[in-house]
Structure 1
Amino acid sequence: MTPEVARAAEKVTVAVTAEGFSFSTETITVPAGAEVTITFENRDDGTPHNVSVYTDASASEALFIGEIVMGPATITYTFTAPETPGNYFFRCDVHPSMHGAFIVT
């Protein structure tokens, strides 16, 4: 198996919770090019949240936009991480003060 094929086959699952208008983690770290599954639990009753990933904190270029869910609810997002290692950005689009680093290694 070539390294490129091995990388494409890599899968990572991350659990993220929103509660009290904050995320359970400030950093999500994934391998470059991996298939990323985020199990997102919104525990804020009657409050919409999501997880979206952007190239940087300006949130002007989206890499992935997760469906907004009204809490309490759990949803699973799946997307492919960027092929280029680096520091990216994740946030709740409804409440942009909820954010963190999305690190691709």
Structure 2
Amino acid sequence: MTPETATAEVAKSVTIDIVSVNMAFDLDTITVPAGAEVTINLDNQDVGIPHNVSFYTDSSAAETIFVGDLITGPDKVTQTFTAPAEPGSYYFQCDVHPFMNGTFVVE
């Protein structure tokens, strides 16, 4: 096995902490490596209000990358998914409150 092959076989992973408070996310851009295992730690601090974080190919939310579980604040959830293999600019949002959104950059 060559060093290049060994490197390619090492799984990339990244952990993102995101807070929802006052009906907004604290991040407007999330950047991850292509094909990475992405762990999202959502901290919903909005008392009595449900939020999630879902990822889509674009703002139409027609093509899903990952749909996060809804949690009613105050609560926290950790979920994992695989980022697209294709680098590009994608989209994330709260499905209950789509005005809570941002850019999901895959490099």
TM-score (norm 2): 0.93
How far apart in 2 are the matches of 1:4 and 1:58? Answer: 33
SS at match of 2:9: helix
Could you give the per-residue CA deviations for residues 54-95 of structure 1, whole angstroms, max 9, x where no partner exists? 000110011000000000000001000000000000000000
AA at the equivalent of 1:101:
T
Tell me what 1:103 maps to: 105
Aligned residues: 103
Tell me what 2:37 maps to: 35
How far apart in 2 are the matches of 1:33 and 1:99? Answer: 22
| Runs (4+) off by over 2 Å | none
Tell me what 1:24 maps to: 26
How far apart in 2 are the matches of 1:87 and 1:5? Answer: 25
Are residue 4 (structure 1) and residue 25 (structure 2) matched? no
Unaligned segments of structure 1, at least 5 residues: none
How far apart in 2 are the matches of 1:85 and 1:77? Answer: 21
Tell me what 1:56 maps to: 58
Unaligned segments of structure 2, at least 5 residues: none
SS at match of 2:96: coil
Tell me what 1:91 maps to: 93
TM-score (norm 1): 0.95
SS at match of 1:4: helix
How far apart in 2 are the matches of 1:16 and 1:54? Answer: 17
Shift of 1:5: 1.5
How far apart in 2 are the matches of 1:4 and 1:94? Answer: 38
Tell me what 1:77 maps to: 79
